[in-house]
Amino acid sequence: MFFKMLKSDLKRKKGLNVILFIFITVASVLVFAGAVEIFSTITVKSTTDRYCNASDATLIMMPYKSYISKPLVDTEKKLDDDPNVISWDKEQWTRISYTSMDYPDIDEKNDNISFVKNRQNYICKLPRVHDLVYDMNDQPFYVESGKVAIPVEMSRNLGVSIGDKIKFTTLMGDVYELEVSKLFKENGYKFLVRFIVADADYDILTKDEIRKYPVYGLKLKNSSIPVLEELQKNITDENAYPLMLPKQDDTSDDDYVMRAIISVFVVIICIFLILIIFMTIRFTMVAELKNEEKEIGMMKALGVDSLKFRWIFAAKYIAFAIVGGIIGIAVGLPLSGMVVNIFDANAILPKRSQMIIIGIISVLLMIFMMIAFSLFVMRRISKISVIDAIHGENHGERFGKGSPMFLHKRKKMSVSMFLALSDLLGRAKRYIFLVIAYTLGAAIMLLAFNVRNSIVSTEFAKFFLYHTLDFGENLYDDVKTRMKAEGVTFTVACNEMFEEAGFPAHFDSEFTTDGYYINEGGEKEEYFYVLFGDAKIEKLRYREGGKCPQLENEAAMSYFTAKKYGINVGDVLKFIIYEKNDSNTDYVENERQIVITAFFDYFEGGTPALIMGKDYDKGYHFGENIIGQEINAKESEKAGIIKEMKAYFGEDKILDTDELIKDWMSEYDRLFALIEYVLGGAIIAVLLLITYLYSSVFIAEETSEIALLKSTGFTSGTVKKWQILRILMLAAVSIVIAEVLFRTLGKFIMTKFMENYSVTGTTFLFEFPVSFILIPLIITVSVLTVVALTLRGVRNIAIWKISEE
């Protein structure tokens, strides 16, 4: 009986069955891939540590001269004697200029090469102990002579792929051609680029290079910033300065946050598809039960058990769930690896057995939910009685509430509009699930498009402590000689150069030092990044109720950490700040009582910030932090000034605001663009299918009404307008609800989500064209196109074809 019922169901309404099967299959695939993506995000640190033997920190000994003349015996002895160091291994890296490498089909002057330009570039051998590398299949590899392995992110950013030839020019002018043989996943270093070559080739390629640095991979008991600073301070050498690089595995790191956002979108689309499937199952089941009401009543009159009959009636849905689930498992396994690598090129996949187990459990859970939901909907069978078999589904209908509108009272309203409004007002329950589907689809599209617009923006850049971003630059090579000759910082050298050239451009910067928040017990509680100087800190964005710090004992504090400790504006806190000694040659740790005058929203990344008052000038100059890149001119004049600066310094040296943000966040922009296209395309495809399904069922149910209208003189055009206007109104109502949900609930979710990653104050930027024109237009046109195609069969409906009325 089960298979007979299944065969019978499949023969009827083939189009609807195909749509339902596609939904279930696609959902199974996405659930498998999504579960693996989420599991990979959660376990990425442990997976990387296990496979790569990732070091807790990397120590690079930077020579005071061009090279290190003597072995670093003292350094290595101190590493052996330090109780916090578990183990270490030593490599040698050779630093090269980004201009030393010539890439195929890339013009260094005109093409965007920020990936290598903004990072330190090194040639090195294949690592053997710590920070091991794996190819795109998560397999170890070796590099043959004459070839080179490069990070996969370089391939994505520069378009360099396996088989391409890269030319390396040494300091002596010798040119070597290296063929790219492997792309590897870089899990150890965020701000470095490693070119991995064969051991024998390394000696040949670097024989004339002078920047050869000893590099130590450290395994530590405690890798917190204060401990690393203490270790760096203790490791001194007459030949080199110790540069300590913490491992980039903090969950507050911006890369991790972006990947978490992507995982959330994967979850959202899976939930959306499952909800659509449930709504579709309910809609089609209810429609079929209405059609089969007489047969069901007769079978119950003959004594057929309701539960058994419910299983038989759900045959199609059970079969679809099982078959779709099997396909989902088969396709989901290879697809899940692709999904993880698309959104995080450096992620090493979990073990294959783990992926299979996670995926199968997720798909089986979804199948169980679908079968249980199908049987739940079938409870309606219990309400059908023998009376229904005798009278049919329309008994008592004449006593029901009629339409709230009357045509003779709406003389100026067209018949099509009257019919559409009467349907929506009189049978609102019928359209609830379609409105929910449209609303969810529109809301998710609004979320995807606005996340990109809000994060890849100057407003988001302000969370990294910028008050103005009028222009960008690539001027280090132009000013490094001036910096060395005059002993000035980068910003001072650039500002001097701008002034000499007559441009009203200016870098606004603060000096940086280190500090620690002291708790009530007198212990160092939290490391702080401390900024001070004479920059225009009053232009920074402070939270409501605060004021810019001015006095020497005043400061503004990043809000996330302040909230964590329950600190309020006006509180007096104790800090240890690294300040200049009497001779200005070194730093000392001084305790200060600081009054907090304001809070600011900041992408802490595990390190909160403190902005000292403008009168404070005692901090030790560890570095500088640019907080503004300004052009002192009217807004209408800035574009022209940037154009003149490009002509003077070079097109690739000066960037306007859009170019700066795109260059800075190019990798994130690529991911968010991919989300827009993939997610937007998936949502539209789902809405097209569900519109076709609902529209087909509506026409089947309303065949008698359509035939009656046509028999009384109304044309097929009137009927089509009725159907189109009804869907158009449903889509319009859904889009309005989606806009409201996005502006309220979506904003709340975005704010709370980012707070989980040490970022406060985030919100969506208002973007009128996309939110209120583009997305509504795409959804409306897509839906109406499907309805128009579905309505082609209306012309074949006639009263004489209706056999039962």
Q: What is the pLDDT of residues 365-403, one digit of tens each?
A: 888 888 888 777 777 666 666 665 555 544 444 444 555
Does residue 232 surpass a pLDDT of 60? yes
Residue 802 has a pLDDT of: 59
For the stretch 165-177, pLDDT in tens is 999 998 888 899 9
pLDDT in tens, 601-657: 998 877 899 999 999 999 988 888 999 999 999 999 999 999 999 999 988 889 999
Q: Kind of pairing, strands 587-600 and 572-580? A: antiparallel
pLDDT at 497: 93
Q: Are strands 471-473 and 654-656 parallel, antiparallel or unpaired?
A: antiparallel
Per-residue confidence (pLDDT) for residue 801, from 0 to 100: 56
Least confident of 185-189, 290-294, 790-794: 290-294
**Helices vs. strands in the chain: H and E counts, helices first:** 28, 21
Is the pLDDT assigned to residue 2 strictly greater than 60? Answer: no
Q: Which residues contact 379 (CB under 8 A, 6 or more apart)?
A: 310
- Cβ neighbours of residue 286 closer than 8 Å, sequence gap 6 or more: 377, 380
Average pLDDT, the chain: 82
Q: Please answer whether residues 299 and 1 qualify as being in contact, where contact means their C-beta atoms are separated by less than 8 angstroms.
A: no
Per-residue pLDDT of 328-368, as tens digits, reads 888 888 888 887 887 777 888 888 888 889 888 988 888 88
pLDDT at position 628: 94
pLDDT band at 728 (very low <50, low <70, confident <90, very high): very high
Helix/strand/coil for 595: strand
Residue 262, pLDDT score = 72
The pLDDT score that the predictor gives to residue 79 is 87
Residue 27 scores a pLDDT above 90: no
The answer on pLDDT for 663 being more than 50 is yes
Give the list of residues 6+ apart from residue 417 with CB closer than 8 angstroms, or none.
Answer: 721, 725
Q: Which residue has the higher pLDDT, 502 or 325?
A: 502
pLDDT band at 238 (very low <50, low <70, confident <90, very high): low
Give the count of beta carbons closer than 10 Å to the beta carbon of residue 109.
10
pLDDT band of residue 299 (cuts 50, 70, 90) is low
| Residue of 680, 257, 762 lying closest to 446 (CA atoms) | 680
- Find which of 156-160, 384-388, 687-691 is predicted with most confidence, using mean pLDDT: 687-691
pLDDT at site 605: 73
Burial 263-278 (b: 16+ CB within 10 A, else e): bbbbebbbebbbebbb
**pLDDT at residue 467 tops 90:** yes
Higher pLDDT, 257 or 210: 210
Quick one: pLDDT band at residue 705, thresholds 50, 70, 90?
Answer: confident
pLDDT at 278 over 60: yes
Q: pLDDT at residue 790 above 50? A: yes
* % of the chain with per-residue pLDDT over 70: 84
Give the sign of the dihedral formed by CA 358, CA 359, CA 364, CA 367: positive
pLDDT at 8: 61
Q: Which residues does 433 contact at the CB level (< 8 Å), separation at least 6?
A: 279, 282, 283
| Confidence grade of residue 572 (pLDDT, cut at 50, 70, 90) | very high
Q: Pairing mode, if any, of strands 505-518 and 524-532?
A: antiparallel
The pLDDT of residue 252 is: 46
pLDDT at position 632: 93
